Structure 1
Amino acid sequence: MSDKILIIEDERIIADAIAYALTKEGYTVEVADRGDTAMVKLYEFKPAAIILDVMLPGMDGYDILKKFQDKGRVGVIMLTAKDDLIDKILGLELGADDYMTKPFDMRELLARLKSLLRRMQAAREEDEQTEITLGGVLLNASKRTAFAGDRKLELTPKEFDLLSLLLASPLRVYTRETLLDIVWGIEYIGGTRTVDIHVQRIRKKLGANYSDIIQTVHGVGYKALGD
């Protein structure tokens, strides 16, 4: 069964060109030309990945990322007409896996999509047999759920991946650069500061009784403490 890809793009020429290229590669494709109708298709079509334009009528790409609750299981490549660092960082912070600036080469888009789908498949296979419990924190990788005691944590996809990695190898020290490479999987343009920001957010969501499970190793990076 071929992977299903949803193209969310209001420029018909671009959407048709992407759809044609993906169909030739064997993907099952649907197209949405508005942000609000795209939300319906996301839940009905259940794509493996979406190619998401930033500027859309009805609801922009950033709002789609904010509202879509299952994006941890759906790959996201964002398309933007703006070669602006802030726009790219925002999309990645909201859960996008990759971005491309218009105009783009179709062969590069296909290569990035294939790479993303391979990473997601590998992650799914690993997640199916992974449940982590440490210091009162429980992560279920297949369901992508996390609990601190009996309280469910509302984590973004990157926050979940980061916490999961740290808890999977307690006492191992990860440098910020290593965490960027493993969790973000691309040469992240936001710099290592984004790791610190995500750790701060995770600690806040864990709450006072559990936040110390992630320890700062000054000048190096982070580690999780064992029981």
Structure 2
Amino acid sequence: MSARVLVAEDDTKQAEVIRRYLEGEGHTALVVHDGRAALDEVRRHRPDLLILDVMMPVVDGLDVCRILRRESDVPVLMLTARSTEEDLLLGLDLGADDYLTKPYSPRELMARTRTLLRRTRASAAAPDDPVLRIGALALDPVRRIVEIEGRLVTCTPGEFDVLATMAAEPERVFTRRQLLARTRGTDRYITERTIDVHVLNLRKKIEPVPRQPVYLRTVFGVGYCLTDGSRGR
């Protein structure tokens, strides 16, 4: 199934290569070359996917992602020449759904694109699943909404995927590797520290006292589990 894909890449040659590959797979590709134009086009056309270069003029990719996550849930695939773990975690923390380090193979980029589009469409086409309730926590996997004691919680896509995975099997202890496999596949660029970042951020959002978690518990030497919070009361 074809999709509308926005490519934000200031390198015109790379942008043209991406456009050709996308159109070769039947997608409609729109190309812009700076962050401000990327923001404008997302707001105007609501693409199915944004392929976003980090190093861009006017507004860089990290700021684009930060701004978009306050107003849109468009899937974001980041492209960057930065390869340190800190850069990767920052991009994910800002709400990117995937992260590809330059230089990359266009075929790998298309594989990542297919994965993100499948994930988004599966979520949109899912049946009316019941809301998952664990204590005062409520999670709607179809509308991708989280509430704690009736208060709406804003989550990045990565945070939501981790929380939804654990909410589907409360009290189960997940290793970091299992959570990575359930939420991001076997992406070699993403480390187990990614899960720690998501859990830390989720605790700030749902826990009464983030440093003394009662919902997202650490099982030392193993990983994490989600409980109804009753043992911490």
> Could you say which residue in structure 2 is the equivalent of 1:47?
47
Partner amino acid for 1:178?
Q
Structure 1 position 96 matched with structure 2 position 111 = no
Same amino acid, percent of matched pairs = 38
Within-5 A mapping of 1:10-25: 10-25=10-25
CA distance in 2 between counterparts of 1:24 and 1:71 reads 31
Q: Which residue of 1 aligns with 2:201?
A: 201
Look up the match of 1:157: 157
What is the distance in 2 between the residues matched to 1:206 and 1:38? 32
| Cα gap change, 1:201 to 1:106, in 2 (>3 Å) | closer
The code of the aligned residue for 1:224 comes to L
The 1-side partners of 2:111 and 2:175 are apart by: 29
Q: Distance in 2 between matches of 1:130 and 1:6?
A: 33
Partner deviation per Cα, 1:154-210 (whole Å, 9 max, x = no partner): 222222221222122112111121112212323354533332332232122113189
Deviates more, 1:166-175 or 1:70-79: 70-79
Counterpart of 2:222 in structure 1 is 220
Select between 26-35 and 193-202 the one with higher mean Cα deviation.
Answer: 193-202
1:14-34 CA deviation, whole Å, 9 max, x = no partner?
212211221122101111111
Letter in 2 for 1:217: V
Tell me if structure 1 keeps the 8 A contact 2:100–2:189: no
Measure how far apart 1:73 and its partner are. Answer: 4.1
Q: Which amino acid aligns with 2:222?
A: V
Q: What residue is the counterpart of 2:167 in the other structure?
A: 167
Task: Give the number of equivalent residue pairs.
Answer: 227
CA distance in 2 between counterparts of 1:107 and 1:188 reads 16
Partner of 1:118: 118
Question: Aligned with 2:154: secondary structure?
Answer: coil
Q: What value does the CA root-mean-square deviation take over the aligned residues?
A: 2.5
Q: Is the Cα contact below 8 Å between 2:54 and 2:78 reproduced in 1?
A: yes
Q: Provide the rounded CA distance (Å) in 2 between the counterparts of 1:52 and 1:143.
A: 25
The letter of the residue matching 2:99 is Y
8 Å Cα contact 1:65/1:71 also seen in 2: no
Q: What one-letter code is carried by the residue in structure 2 that aligns with 1:18?
A: I
Distance 1:25 1:81 in 2: 25
Matches within 5 A, 1:80-91: 80-91=80-91
Q: CA deviation at 1:223?
A: 1.6
1:143 corresponding residue in structure 2:
143
SS of the residue corresponding to residue 77 of structure 1 reads strand
Name the SS of the counterpart of 2:172 in structure 1: coil
- Residue aligned with 2:179, SS: helix
Calculate the TM-score normalised by the size of structure 2. Answer: 0.85
C-alpha displacement of 1:60? 0.6
Distance 1:89 1:204 in 2: 17
Q: Which runs of 5+ in 2 are unaligned?
A: none
The aligned residue for residue 69 of structure 1 is 69
User: What amino acid maps onto 2:47 in structure 1?
Assistant: P
Q: Could you tell me which amino acid in structure 2 is paired with residue 192 of structure 1?
A: E
Q: Following TM superposition, by how much is the alpha carbon of 1:8 offset from its aligned partner in structure 2, in angstroms? A: 0.4
Of 87-96 and 174-183, deviating more is 87-96
Contact 2:35 2:57 in 1 (8 A): yes
The answer to whether the 8 A contact 1:139-1:147 is kept is yes
Tell me the distance in 2 between the aligned counterparts of 1:60 and 1:26.
Answer: 29
Superimposed CA distance per residue, residues 101-126 of structure 1 (whole angstroms, 9 cap, x where no aligned partner): 33333222222212222233233334
**Is the CA contact 1:49–1:76 (under 8 Å) kept in the aligned structure 2?**
yes
Worse overlay, 48-57 or 210-219: 210-219
| Superposition TM-score, scaled by structure 1 size | 0.87
